[in-house]
Structure 1
């Protein structure tokens, strides 16, 4: 796999840019690592990165073909093949860990995430991929069936109505996280419900690091202004 592999036909740009963005394989893998790091450390489910996942899966296929070709033609030494195999294993590990992390959040907060996905605005990016949405629906249905068969049968009929989003705990957005500022942000509001808001705003200088509640900076994680540590 060459480092300057052009995958612009696979990876679309952000919604704010109508031109195609040409990314190298190294840049795609860097985006995957950023998404993985943020997803592991964020208490909430982040925006799905389906385009990045699709690109990485294509790259993994290319890496596997290149390794098999090198073995077959003996174009590379055993040491070089081993190094390429280690890099392939590393990429596969990151991708699987990223997807498992998202599925774990869906298993815990599925009904809440489904309700939020159904009510999001048209201009809001989806948090769940189509496959994750189907998985969340199946998990929620199984949980509801379990509640009805095991718990609610022991209760009077008048108490047997289930509201799943209120039954399951939502993500804890007040969880504290470490972050590093990638792009300067001014006047970030730390406490939304305070009367004296001027004293609860802070400027985030590029390169600075903070320990802060997740909720005020959730949007900054989504748009890439900060990364979690």
Structure 2
């Protein structure tokens, strides 16, 4: 049983899937890497194994088994897309993540980011750095760093009322009502996304 299941025994597989789908949507649409949800992925992978085991027991050609197999493929796609999206962001922003935001990474993602950084350094060294004068051989992390675009606009739905949100620094703050939808720059709503007050669309 996963740590998520142990902590919340009442949570169902469909609720875990809903939470994972939310995390996937937010991850795809946010310009920065969001906090990892390894417990959701682990729980869903365990559920997939159980579903596949149950399908093996059903007669071949059974229509219900075919529907379950389609659902398994859909869930696998969500999990794979979520992980692929995170890896792409890690590869793009690895300098910033390793220097300032390691807490956003799962244990496996942190190991991957460190290995990726080592490989990039070896690549640069092999292609160019060793042929350059010694005073130019150091890789400057600040120059390699790719910052997420916090000024990108995002479209979102409000999941719970948010008070005093200012879209721009010089604008009057407004209250965002539950169920309303808005387009704003990412920076002022990043904290609302982190505490699950909004869902990106």
Task: Give the alignment's TM-score, normalised by structure 1.
Answer: 0.81
2:116 and 2:153 map into 1 onto residues whose CA distance is 28
Name the counterpart of 1:28.
16
Q: Is the 1:183–1:225 Cα contact (8 Å) retained in structure 2?
A: yes
2:140 and 2:5 map into 1 onto residues whose CA distance is 38
1:205 and 1:169 map into 2 onto residues whose CA distance is 34
Name the counterpart of 2:175.
203
Structure 2: where are the runs of 5+ without partners?
Answer: none
2:176 matches 1:183: no
Give the CA deviation at 1:170.
1.3
2:157 and 2:76 map into 1 onto residues whose CA distance is 26
Give the CA deviation at 1:165.
4.2
Structure 1 pair 21–186 and aligned structure 2 pair: CA distance change class (3 A): farther
What is the SS of the residue equivalent to 1:173? coil
2:40 matches 1:52: yes
1:113 and 1:147 map into 2 onto residues whose CA distance is 20
Q: Is the 1:144–1:164 Cα contact (8 Å) retained in structure 2?
A: no
Name the counterpart of 2:149.
172
Give the CA deviation at 1:159.
2.3
Give the CA deviation at 1:96.
0.5
What is the SS of the residue equivalent to 1:224? coil
What is the SS of the residue equivalent to 1:48? coil
Q: How does 1:142-153 map to 2 (within 5 A)?
A: 142-153=119-130
Match of 1:81 among 65, 69, 72: 65
Structure 1 pair 39–11 and aligned structure 2 pair: CA distance change class (3 A): same
Give the CA deviation at 1:20.
4.0
Q: Is the 2:95–2:146 Cα contact (8 Å) retained in structure 1?
A: no
Give the CA deviation at 1:111.
1.4
2:127 matches 1:139: no
Name the counterpart of 1:159.
136
1:12 and 1:28 map into 2 onto residues whose CA distance is 9
Structure 1 pair 42–79 and aligned structure 2 pair: CA distance change class (3 A): same
What is the SS of the residue equivalent to 2:149? coil
Structure 1: where are the runs of 5+ without partners?
Answer: 1-6, 14-18, 119-125
Q: Is the 1:185–1:205 Cα contact (8 Å) retained in structure 2?
A: yes
Name the counterpart of 1:16.
none
CA displacement 1:13-49 (0-9 Å, x = unmatched): 9xxxxx7462011101100110110011011000000
1:141 and 1:226 map into 2 onto residues whose CA distance is 36
Task: Give the alignment's TM-score, normalised by structure 2.
Answer: 0.92
2:197 matches 1:225: yes
Q: Is the 2:164–2:175 Cα contact (8 Å) retained in structure 1?
A: yes
Q: What do you get for the CA RMSD once the two structures are aligned?
A: 2.0
